[in-house]
Amino acid sequence: MPGADQLTLAGWPLAGVLMVAVAGERLRAARKREALNRAIHELRRPLQLLAFGYGARRISPSSTPLGLALAALGQLDREVNGGAVPPSRSVSIRGLADAAVQRWSGCVSRDGGSIALRWRAGDAAVIADPARIEQALDNLIANAVDHGGASVVVDARAIGSRLRISVLDHGQAASRTRERPGRHGYGLEVVSSIAAAHRGRFALRRSKTGSVAILELPLAGLGAALAA
């Protein structure tokens, strides 16, 4: 039977292998992060030029598709490297919903379909980062367009202390979690995370005749009370 010293010596090769494996994994992670940061840097510059015009000196928030791409790139940068999260403020949702429907109208009409906004929420506002709300709206509409056929309706109404935004289609939308390999399903995961970050909720209801994706957010009065 080997003694304690022999067991200790026998353990050194294994410990060395583990140390090398950990060091190698850290090096690979550092290289991936460096490559990702390079990609973020190289993508941001042309997007800024396209979104805000050549020679622009100041960058302003924009509801254009390129402006939204810049906002998503900034969020990725914060997730990789840390940094201050844009402050939340009272945001009027009607303008964001109108802009989202306008962004998608060309794509939908080109394929012979239609997209409409039914607004029944008055001047409803929520406490949020507007770029995140635009992200949620775009993902909801994109999911409906991709999976729901020709007709999409964005319906908004105030229910008690909450704003409910429903996106209705006439097909089988993807589930809220990734059921298929690859990049499928991430859009609804983004919507769910945005809802959770704003003390709201997300739900997807499907039937044989279509699907309805529901995003609920606290109205600004409630959001301010919760933040106090």
Q: What would the mean pLDDT of 11-39 be, rounded to a whole number?
A: 68
Q: Please report which confidence band the pLDDT of residue 77 belongs to, taking 50, 70 and 90 as the band edges.
A: confident
Closest C-alpha to 168, from 182, 183, 153, 158: 153
| Confidence check: pLDDT of 13 > 90 | no
Q: Which residue has the higher pLDDT, 68 or 46?
A: 68
Buried b (16+ CB within 10 A) or exposed e, 183-221: eebebbebbbebbeebbbebebebeeebbbbbbbbbbbe
We find that the CATH architecture of domain 89-227 is 2-Layer Sandwich (3.30)
pLDDT digits (tens, 9 = 90+) for 114-140: 899 999 999 999 999 888 899 899 889
pLDDT digits (tens, 9 = 90+) for 171-225: 654 444 444 444 456 788 889 999 999 999 999 988 777 889 999 999 997 444 4
pLDDT at 177: 40
Beta carbons within 8 Å of 146's beta carbon, 6+ residues apart: 174
- In the numeric block, which tokens belong to residue 146? 């991709």
CB 165 within 8 A of CB 156: yes
pLDDT at 20: 62
**What's the count of helices (H) and strands (E) in the chain, helices before strands?**
6, 7
Assessment of whether the complete model's pTM goes beyond 0.85: no
pLDDT at 68: 75
